[in-house]
């Protein structure tokens, strides 16, 4: 699991690589936290995430809830079809805005 | 594992006191029972009245050998409850069970066996049968593994719908069978998620409640076998054999392989609620999957056999369920388990109600004798959490108790009305001597439910147990050979009629008659007071080829064939319009019984019965005809008077019809002897009878007239 942070103008891009499960979710959260605390526009790049467990989905929903509370903008980029299906079956998908490409993602939070 | 730096030390009991094999733990909290996530750890709590020792067994998910076994120190037991908090667990990757030490003395009810790892009765997720029909590892020492659930679903503003019971139209469905057929064309066939894709279908049909056949975790491999002649694999498809009462069936979830069935079920319920559809669960609380003394030790037997089961004086199992054992429901501890279970489904899953399989068992005492005032039934009826839930009893059991109309109801319980089913079936196939009873059943069975009101009567002609509606009019006898029991299983008393040919036929006259009788059935069901219920697929004439007990048939025989939606579109159109007719006419579904008199000053009684002649209903033994008039002014928002003529005789008969009010004319809304589109109309489009005073009701058919202002152009 690896978390990379970058910046596109006033938009924070958080890229995650690997699996997000019960073991890694607290670490991902820890690494994202400083960015999430201050940023108002975030692209969460999940195109290199191969597996999201139940705990992983919960991490995403918590982040979404925090953003909704402070009226920030959050978009998920490159969520694989498999993960989208799981998110759809469990009701998580309805909460998020999804983007297929970086320009689309940046547009969505601009 | 969590690092120490992530731990919360703000309370003393957030800190471990003991250590063994590298695992840190402390004394736990006795309540709640089960495994509960607490700060820094998981609290395990379990009850056994006669065990001499208890050991917590922890596994990493899917691993064959335990990662650790921790015996509860003596000081961790309070009363008969063992509890412990274990720290630093990755609870997403955890499976747990127990070993109980204690006597093996079956004659006095004890069957402890510390060589077995047993499952927590309070388990909220069970692993081991994660994917439907995936071959189990039979050598696994722990087949049905308790896991932890995230019970933190984001419901947003969802809540149980609390639709008035008498306004319900219930659709009984099998979660897997509803979308498993390849014609279903859903994203995840045979699953909870699959049902979501069919919500538009349910909505357009007009039902506002689905009753899901058992979704508590069960083992589809229980008693699995190959048919001796056909080689067909026979499974426990229906699932009336519970492993644990708080865990949803993983194999019904598209995400069961990922352990996300809890979220998937909740999402389904949320989506159904958004469509205005309630969810009732068919709950099997009368027995468990452990069978009799020859059955496996999975959970209850190895934890506290004597308390969980009703035992004979010799220590064998009473079998009031017909499934080997009987849950000892009126033992205070078991009663609490049942209450906790239902509260959990109501509060955490937003379930709208429950249908209790073989509910009469819940009213038996610990020796099996029926109780006059069963504490469990009273508790359920008056429970604060369940107070808005529908409680529906299957008011009989396999031990000979038949309580339709006399189930201890506390003014709260409804019942599957078996007497409605039997009388209506006989009447529809043309039996004599039923007109009087039909007049009572149409009113919501005041003979049975006078004090409870018509909403206590769940009116059904078919359900999962028995013939489908199509088969009811296509088979004189059951044809259960495919079950591999030489046709000895299933009910023999079906009150069915094959219309002249046994099974499917090319004879058009037979097929037309069957279609007409199915229309009569739905017409009858939707016009009566009480709560109509029908079985998945009956609206499109689904057949099980005469099999009236398809409990082991996980195949096309049981599954909903969606090509019928096109092929039997005439029936589907009729049923849909009939349901909408019910929903548009409050007089049909009011919450009180008819009184047979005029109590609003309309000049007509709320209901009056007639025969082929007005005011002369023929209740004689040879009669097959009945008509009734409903006064529209006895219900709010009712469009007009309704007159219904039923002729189950094999020839057409003239019926005198009541004079409509001044300025009104009768319109023919339903005539089941006609083919579509003339079989049923929207009231506004229905043909007017003008000033006619008589109608001919065709052989074995029904007509429904609605009074409307005479329209000169009609």
Nearest to A86 among B258, B266, B271 (CB): B258
Beta-bridge partner residues of A7: A12
The whole-angstrom separation of Cα B428 and Cα B524 is 9
3-state class (DSSP) for residue B78? strand
What's the full length of chain A, in residues? 110
The whole-angstrom separation of Cα B417 and Cα B283 is 18
> Are A90 and B267 inside 8 Å of each other by CB?
yes
* B344 CB neighbour count, 10 Å cutoff: 19
Eight-state DSSP code of residue B628: E
* B219 CB neighbour count, 10 Å cutoff: 24
Nearest to B92 among A54, A61, A91 (CB): A54
3-state class (DSSP) for residue B458? strand
The whole-angstrom separation of Cα B453 and Cα B583 is 19
Is the C-alpha dihedral spanning B502, B508, B510, B515 positive or negative? positive
B interface with A, Cβ–Cβ below 8 Å: 1-2, 6, 90-93, 150, 152-154, 187-188, 191-193, 253-255, 258-260, 263-264, 266-267, 270-271
Using pLDDT thresholds of 50, 70 and 90, give the confidence band for residue B13.
confident
Q: Is the pLDDT of residue B472 over 50?
A: yes
Instruction: Write down the residue that tokens 């319109």 correspond to.
Output: B667
CATH superfamily of B4-147: Immunoglobulins (2.60.40.10)
> Are A91 and B270 inside 8 Å of each other by CB?
yes
Beta-bridge partner residues of B98: B56, B118
Q: What is the pLDDT of residue B712?
A: 57
Using pLDDT thresholds of 50, 70 and 90, give the confidence band for residue B12.
confident
The whole-angstrom separation of Cα B458 and Cα B529 is 9
Could you give the number of structural domains in chain A?
A: 1
Contact status, residue B180 vs residue B559, Cβ threshold 8 Å? yes
Which residues, including other chains, have CB under 8 Å from residue B512's CB and lie 6 or more apart? none
Instruction: Write down the residue that tokens 């009910």 correspond to.
Output: B491
Nearest to A86 among B92, B152, B260 (CB): B260
Give the start-to-end residue ranges of the domains of chain B.
Answer: 4-147, 176-587, 597-709
Instruction: Write down the residue that tokens 């699959």 correspond to.
Output: B194
* A2 CB neighbour count, 10 Å cutoff: 11
From A56, which residue of chain B is nearest by alpha-carbon distance? B92
Closest CA to B233 of B483, B404, B10, B447: B483
What is chain B's Cα-based Rg? 28
Q: Where are the alpha helices (DSSP H) in chain A?
A: 25-38, 54-69, 81-89, 102-109
The whole-angstrom separation of Cα B537 and Cα B469 is 9
Q: Where are the alpha helices (DSSP H) in B587-661?
A: none
Element (H, E) at B523: helix B508-527
Q: Is A62 on the interface with B (CB under 8 A)?
A: no
When pLDDT is averaged across residues B204-211 and rounded to a whole number, the result is: 98
* B411 CB neighbour count, 10 Å cutoff: 10
* B582 CB neighbour count, 10 Å cutoff: 20
Q: What is the DSSP pairing of strand B353-356 with strand B278-283?
A: parallel
CATH class given for the domain over B597-709: mainly beta
The whole-angstrom separation of Cα A98 and Cα B459 is 47
CA distance A82 to chain B (A): 11
Q: Which residues of chain A have pLDDT under 70?
A: none
The whole-angstrom separation of Cα B534 and Cα B522 is 9
Using pLDDT thresholds of 50, 70 and 90, give the confidence band for residue B14.
confident
Contact status, residue B411 vs residue B403, Cβ threshold 8 Å? no
What's the full length of chain B, in residues? 714
Q: Which residues of A touch B188 (CB under 8 A)?
A: 85, 89
Closest CA to B652 of B620, B696, B621: B696
**Pair of tokens at residue B28:** 């736990």
Contact status, residue B63 vs residue B94, Cβ threshold 8 Å? no
Domain-embedded: residue A76: yes
Read off the pLDDT of residues B611-667 as tens digits, 9 standing for 90 and up.
Answer: 999 999 999 999 999 999 999 999 998 889 999 999 999 999 999 999 999 999 999
Q: Is A92 on the interface with B (CB under 8 A)?
A: yes
When pLDDT is averaged across residues B224-232 and rounded to a whole number, the result is: 93
Q: What is the pLDDT of residue B714?
A: 45
Domain of A89, CATH number, reads 3.30.750.24
Where are any strands of DSSP class E within B50-132?
53-60, 68-71, 77-78, 81-87, 94-101, 104-105, 110-111, 125-127
Q: Which residues of A touch B192 (CB under 8 A)?
A: 89
Eight-state DSSP code of residue B134: P
Using pLDDT thresholds of 50, 70 and 90, give the confidence band for residue B3.
very low
Domain-embedded: residue A13: yes
Read off the pLDDT of residues B279-317 as tens digits, 9 standing for 90 and up.
Answer: 999 999 999 999 999 999 999 999 999 999 999 999 999
Instruction: Write down the residue that tokens 């079920």 correspond to.
Output: B265
3-state class (DSSP) for residue B457? strand
Q: Is A53 on the interface with B (CB under 8 A)?
A: yes
Q: Which residues of A touch B92 (CB under 8 A)?
A: 21-22, 53-55
CA distance B598 to chain A (A): 52
CA distance A22 to chain B (A): 6
Contact status, residue B129 vs residue B175, Cβ threshold 8 Å? no
Q: Is the pLDDT of residue B135 over 60?
A: yes
Q: Is A55 on the interface with B (CB under 8 A)?
A: yes
Which residues, including other chains, have CB under 8 Å from residue B237's CB and lie 6 or more apart? B174, B176, B177, B220, B550, B551, B552, B553, B554, B558
Contact status, residue B207 vs residue B192, Cβ threshold 8 Å? no
Nearest to A54 among B1, B253, B259 (CB): B259
Beta-bridge partner residues of B466: none
End-to-end CA separation in angstroms for chain B: 78
Closest CA to B442 of B610, B653, B218: B610
Q: What is the pLDDT of residue B335?
A: 96
Contact status, residue A93 vs residue A62, Cβ threshold 8 Å? no
Q: What are phi and psi of A10, to 5 degrees?
A: -95, 15
Q: Is the pLDDT of residue B58 over 50?
A: yes
When pLDDT is averaged across residues B176-202 and rounded to a whole number, the result is: 98
Which residues, including other chains, have CB under 8 Å from residue B238's CB and lie 6 or more apart? B174, B213, B214, B464, B550, B551
3-state class (DSSP) for residue B676? coil
Q: For chain A, what is the mean pLDDT?
A: 94
Q: Which residues of A touch B191 (CB under 8 A)?
A: 89
Read off the pLDDT of residues B362-394 as tens digits, 9 standing for 90 and up.
Answer: 999 999 999 999 999 999 999 999 999 999 999
Domain-embedded: residue A108: no
Q: What is the DSSP pairing of strand B414-416 with strand B457-460?
A: parallel
With 0-12 / 13-18 / 19 or more C-beta atoms within 10 angstroms meaning exposed / middle / buried, residue B600 is exposed
Nearest to B92 among A55, A61, A86 (CB): A55
CATH 3.20.20.80 fits B176-587, yes or no: yes
> Are B260 and A89 inside 8 Å of each other by CB?
yes
Nearest to A53 among B92, B188, B191 (CB): B92
Q: For chain B, what is the mean pLDDT?
A: 96
Closest CA to B523 of B569, B473, B475, B576: B576
Identical fold between B4-147 and B597-709: yes
Contact status, residue B491 vs residue B505, Cβ threshold 8 Å? no
Domain-embedded: residue A109: no
The whole-angstrom separation of Cα B137 and Cα B128 is 8
> pLDDT exceeding 70 applies to what percent of chain A?
100
**Pair of tokens at residue B37:** 């996530």
When pLDDT is averaged across residues B675-686 and rounded to a whole number, the result is: 97
Read off the pLDDT of residues B433-453 as tens digits, 9 standing for 90 and up.
Answer: 999 999 999 999 999 999 999
Q: Which of B357, B437, B465, B539 is catalytic?
A: B357
Q: What are phi and psi of B53, to 5 degrees?
A: -160, 160
The whole-angstrom separation of Cα B375 and Cα B366 is 12
From A65, which residue of chain B is nearest by alpha-carbon distance? B154
When pLDDT is averaged across residues B65-70 and rounded to a whole number, the result is: 98
Which residues, including other chains, have CB under 8 Å from residue A4's CB and lie 6 or more apart? A14, A15, A16, A17
Closest CA to B586 of B627, B634, B622, B550: B634
When pLDDT is averaged across residues B126-135 and rounded to a whole number, the result is: 97
Q: What is the pLDDT of residue B8?
A: 73
The whole-angstrom separation of Cα A23 and Cα A16 is 15
Q: What is the pLDDT of residue B713?
A: 52
Q: Is the pLDDT of residue B329 over 60?
A: yes
Domain-embedded: residue A45: yes
Residue to substitute from B5, B255, B270, interface A, most A β-carbons within 10 A: B255
Distance set, CA B169 to CA B17, B172, B449, B463, B585 (Å): 56, 10, 19, 14, 13
Eight-state DSSP code of residue B80: T
**Pair of tokens at residue B677:** 């589109």
Read off the pLDDT of residues B97-117 as tens digits, 9 standing for 90 and up.
Answer: 999 999 999 999 999 999 999
Q: Which of B217, B220, B394, B465 is catalytic?
A: B394
- Look up B394 and say whether it is catalytic: yes
């Amino acid at each position: 699991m690896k978390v990379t942070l970058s910046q596109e103008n006033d938009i924070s891009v958080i890229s995650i690589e690997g699996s997000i499960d019960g073991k890694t979710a607290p670490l991902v959260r820890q690494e994202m936290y400083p960015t999430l605390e201050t940023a108002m526009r975030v692209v969460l790049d999940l195109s290199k995430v191969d597996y999201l467990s139940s705990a992983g989905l919960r991490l995403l929903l918590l982040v979404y809830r925090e953003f909704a509370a402070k009226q920030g903008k959050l978009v998920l980029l490159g969520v694989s079809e498999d993960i989208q299906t799981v998110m759809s079956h469990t009701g998580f998908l309805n909460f998020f805005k999804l983007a297929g490409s970086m320009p689309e993602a940046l547009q969505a939070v601009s | 594992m969590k690092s120490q730096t992530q731990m919360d030390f703000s309370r003393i009991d957030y800190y471990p006191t003991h250590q063994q094999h590298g695992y840190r733990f402390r004394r736990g909290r006795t309540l709640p029972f089960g495994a509960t996530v607490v700060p820094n750890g998981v609290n395990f709590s379990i009850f056994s009245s006669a065990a001499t020792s208890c050991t917590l067994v922890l596994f990493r998910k899917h691993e064959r050998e335990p990662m650790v076994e921790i015996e509860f120190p003596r000081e961790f037991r309070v009363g008969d409850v063992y509890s412990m908090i274990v720290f630093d667990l990755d609870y997403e990757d955890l499976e747990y069970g127990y070993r109980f030490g204690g006597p093996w003395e079956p004659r006095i009810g004890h069957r402890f066996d510390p060589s077995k790892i047993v499952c927590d009765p309070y388990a909220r997720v069970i692993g081991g049968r994660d994917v439907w029909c995936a071959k189990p590892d039979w050598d696994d020492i722990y087949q049905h593994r308790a896991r932890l659930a995230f019970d933190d679903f984001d419901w947003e503003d969802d809540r149980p719908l609390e639709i008035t019971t008498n306004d319900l139209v219930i659709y009984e469905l099998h979660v897997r069978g509803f979308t498993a057929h390849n014609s279903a064309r859903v994203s995840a066939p045979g699953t909870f998620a699959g049902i979501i894709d069919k919500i538009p279908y349910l909505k357009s049909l007009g039902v506002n409640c689905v009753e899901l056949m058992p979704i508590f975790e069960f083992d589809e491999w229980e008693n699995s076998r190959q048919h001796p002649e056909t080689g067909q694999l026979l499974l426990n498809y229906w699932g009336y054999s519970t492993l644990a009462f708080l865990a949803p069936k993983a194999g019904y979830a598209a995400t069961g392989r990922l352990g996300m069935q809890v979220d998937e079920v909740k999402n389904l319920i949320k989506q159904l609620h958004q469509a205005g559809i309630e969810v009732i669960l068919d709950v099997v609380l009368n027995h468990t999957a452990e069978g009799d003394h020859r059955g496996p030790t999975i959970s209850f037997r190895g934890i506290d056999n004597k308390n969980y089961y009703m035992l004979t004086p010799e220590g064998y199992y009473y079998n009031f369920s017909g499934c080997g054992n009987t849950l000892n429901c009126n033992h205070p501890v078991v009663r609490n388990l049942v209450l906790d279970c239902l509260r959990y489904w109501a509060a955490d899953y937003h379930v709208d109600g429950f249908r209790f399989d073989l509910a009469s068992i819940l009213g038996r005492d610990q020796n099996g004798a029926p109780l006059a005032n069963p504490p469990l039934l009273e508790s359920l009826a008056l429970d604060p959490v369940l107070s808005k839930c529908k409680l529906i009893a299957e008011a009989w059991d396999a031990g000979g108790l038949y309580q339709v109309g006399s189930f201890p109801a506390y003014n709260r319980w409804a019942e599957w009305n078996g007497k409605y089913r039997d009388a209506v079936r006989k009447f529809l196939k043309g039996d004599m001597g039923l007109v009087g009873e039909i007049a009572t059943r149409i009113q919501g069975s005041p003979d049975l439910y006078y004090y409870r009101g018509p909403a206590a009567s769940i009116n059904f002609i078919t359900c999962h147990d028995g013939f489908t509606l199509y088969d009811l009019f296509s088979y004189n006898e059951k044809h259960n050979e495919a079950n591999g029991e030489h046709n000895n299983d299933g009910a023999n008393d079906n009150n069915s009629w094959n219309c002249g040919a046994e099974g499917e036929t090319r004879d058009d006259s037979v097929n037309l008659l069957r279609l007409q009788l199915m229309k009569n059935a739905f017409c009858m069901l939707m016009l009566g007071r009480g709560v109509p219920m029908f079985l998945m697929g009956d609206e499109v004439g689904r057949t099980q080829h005469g099999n009236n007990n398809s409990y082991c048939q996980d195949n096309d025989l049981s599954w909903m064939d969606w090509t019928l939606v096109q092929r039997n579109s005439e029936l589907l159109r009729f049923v849909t319009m009939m349901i909408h007719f019910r929903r548009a006419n409050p007089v049909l579904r009011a919450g009180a019984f008819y009184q047979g008199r005029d109590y609003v000053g309309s000049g007509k009684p709320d209901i009056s019965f007639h025969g082929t002649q007005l005011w002369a209903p023929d209740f004689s033994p040879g009669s097959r005809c009945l008509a009734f008039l409903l006064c529209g002014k006895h219900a709010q928002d009712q469009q007009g008077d309704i007159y219904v003529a039923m002729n189950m005789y094999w020839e057409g008969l003239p019926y005198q019809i009541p004079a409509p009010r001044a300025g009104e004319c009768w319109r023919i809304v339903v005539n089941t002897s006609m083919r579509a589109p003339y079989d049923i109309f929207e009231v506004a489009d229905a043909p007017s009878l003008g000033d006619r005073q008589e109608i001919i009701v065709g052989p074995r058919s029904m007509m429904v007239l609605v009074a409307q202002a005479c329209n000169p152009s009609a």
